[in-house]
Structure 1
Amino acid sequence: MNKKLLATVRFYFAQCVFMNSIHYKAYNRLKGVQERNRNIVLGIASTTLILIILQIIGLEFEYENLLSVLSFCGIVLTGASLILELYNKEDISEIKSQHRNIGEEYKILRDQFISLIEEIMSSISSEEELRMKFKKLQNLYSQIGRYSPTTTGTDYSEAQSGLGLGKNDNEEFTWSNEEIDRFLPVELRIS
């Protein structure tokens, strides 16, 4: 068993676990933003509908002062609605979907790295064959990262927390054997 190859494969496995978690945290963050925006639009639409009903009542009873106030409020709400639409011009649904899809890609790759770890530890394939499989998976990892949507520091911190990792400001993207082992089945752990 080649210990250096195993260590490298375990590192990429842990990276896939972490990247999967980050993209799902980003998905959840955007889902929350989308829900908040939906509630704001619903609130504006509901208030506008109430104002229209009150304006009809005001016209019926000829309340000019009430009509003036309601008209002003209606204009303000229409302006707020337009500003909200301009602010939310970018379609969050598409970016949210991209995060989910990338998270799934990392999950698939994670499972392939688990299989490769098992194969290395079992010594059932030649070292040359194992290295070729690793290079293929490493290339896939790079391709997924290249086309991934951007995540935030909050997504990163929440992924760390969700995986039970300590927050380290001087992090150098290293993984301890104990941290990696927490993500693996008992039979594939080395600590």
Structure 2
Amino acid sequence: MSKGDHVFNNIVAKMNGAFEAGFNAYARDKHASGSAGSAPLGALIHSRAARDDWMRRHMPRTSSLLTAFLEDAALRDLRESLQTATYLGGDANNDAYSMYAQEFQGAVVRLFTKIARTRSYLNEGDLTPDITRVRRAFFHMTRAAEDPGALQRLLEQADGNARERARVEAAVQAVRARLELAWGACERIFRTAAAELLRLPRS
């Protein structure tokens, strides 16, 4: 079977990529500054396993929230199941989704860079506009994630099979519902990351 069109673009992959880019920006900035306790951070830039281990030890709440997002059954498994039998390409919202995904990653990188340069957790409130920018960019990305053309093609494949059509429609509704809730999950991830990073020991 050839590659199929997905009804929903891959929000989970975009969140993972944006967070990784943001964390690496934080680690680079801290490492370059030579601030106390920053030396180990340089080693995390090129090793996802080392970064994940470091996060579990130093950012346990963020690590838990991020893992829950990345393992979300509706955003991952159900989304993956909503795929047409053939790939047509040229979906109407691909360009818009790509643009919003880039804006989301850019906002995350700017947030983490500002976290690296924020002197104390007492200045945490200064990050509120940056977190709001991340949340807004994520919202725009999720709004552009659904491809109505792919959904229509998937439903057309199920014509004559009432049970399959009902399954598709139920799965689509489940993913839509999770995308609505993911907006709040996104804010919690980055607000928690800011709080935990700003409270790391400086020595």
Larger Rg: 1
TM norm structure 1: 0.27
Query: By percentage of residues, which structure has more helix?
Result: 1
Higher relative contact order, chain-length normalized (CA < 8 Å, sep 6+)? 1
